[in-house]
Amino acid sequence: MMVRDLGQVDLLPTLEAMQTFTEQRHSDSPDELWLCEHPPVFTQGLAGKASHVLDARNIPVVQTNRGGQVTYHGPGQLVAYPLLDLKRAGYFVKEYVYRLEDALLRTLATFGVIGHRVAGAPGIYVRLYDPHSHALLPQRPQCQNRQPSDSASSGQIGPTPYPGPIHAPQTPNLTGLGKIAALGIKVSRNCTYHGVALNVSMDLSPFSNINPCGYVGLQTVDFSTMGITAELEQVKQVLSQKLVSHLLP
């Protein structure tokens, strides 16, 4: 996978470039991982409701073709766009999402923060009052055969094996949690674009002008909120390594 560091780039030209790359790629095209920051912007997913944007003020709202509801991008947030051929990788969309989340969990653990999955709510969350706790969440994803770890506390070095189909409730329980990483993807012709956003050290106030990811009152946090001092470049290096290794066929 070729890794490209784009620096700070406007959202729309980047999305257009991803679409063009995906439309023009062929079976031998190498996969790529684009890393960047965006100037302040709200983005709506395909299912996005206008009512979830409470007060955009002077921040543009951009309609996109990714999944999910509204979120915010801004300086101090690390955005990663994997451009991956899933057919060649040999796994399906649900496992792709699981691998993305696992890479985020392992990245957070590297910096001493324990992240968690929540059933029915894609992305990664932390306990607001105990971000270093390894205790499993009661609202973690669960499946009939076994219970996958919702955090990166299992001690494994490599990716956590995909557990298979997971039961997800219609209404996720986000009590006591803050969202530190968002996920929204698009798959076209078995190839992915869009990706993940990890909050490192940013102005979080614009999140109060929306219902983040469509959840009323959901608190959004970053590394700084969790008491972790980390440069964006440090986090970028770790996350890119985790994504490259976790997305291997």
Task: Decide if 191 is catalytic.
Answer: no
Q: Give the list of residues 6+ apart from residue 38 with CB closer than 8 angstroms, or none.
A: 8, 9, 10, 11, 14, 73, 74, 75, 77, 79
Please provide the size of the chain in residues.
Answer: 249
Cα(183)–Cα(193) distance, integer angstroms:
11
Say if CB 238 and CB 110 are below 8 A apart. yes
The tokens of 80 are what? Answer: 């990663």
Distance CA 48, CA 55 (A): 15
Residue 7's DSSP bridge partners are 36
Q: Which spans in 25-92 are helix H?
A: 86-89
Q: Which of 36, 143, 191, 213 is catalytic?
A: 213
| Strand, helix or coil for residue 238 | helix
Calculated CA dihedral for residues 77, 70, 124, 191, nearest 10 degrees:
-90
Catalytic residues: 213
